[in-house]
Amino acid sequence: MAEAAGSLANRDVPTDLSGLSAHEMQTLACRTELATLLRGIQGVAGLAACNLETGGSVQDLCGLFSALGQLDANATDLAGRYGVLISTAGSA
């Protein structure tokens, strides 16, 4: 499973970035940052689930939910920027 995820992650990333336009670089950076945020959400959600399963403290759970909310807001903003970048790719 990890190998499949690794091959998917590297699928469209060129090894030499010098030939990319500014728009392509912005799109790649945005896509990379969004993927990182989504992995962060996945990790924090896993910690929250573990906290619930083991009867962890309510204070810890509240902190995890707060972190999830912040990551979600950041990912939503970034997804909007990514949408604009990919929708304008042909007009650049």
Q: Is the pTM of this model over 0.75?
A: no
pLDDT tens-digit map of 39-63: 999 999 999 999 999 999 999 999 9
Q: Taking a C-beta distance cutoff of 8 angstroms, is the pair 41, 75 a contact?
A: yes
Distance CA 90, CA 74 (A): 26
Return the structure tokens found at 56.
């962890």
Q: Taking a C-beta distance cutoff of 8 angstroms, is the pair 21, 85 a contact?
A: no
Least confident of 3-12, 22-31, 41-50: 3-12
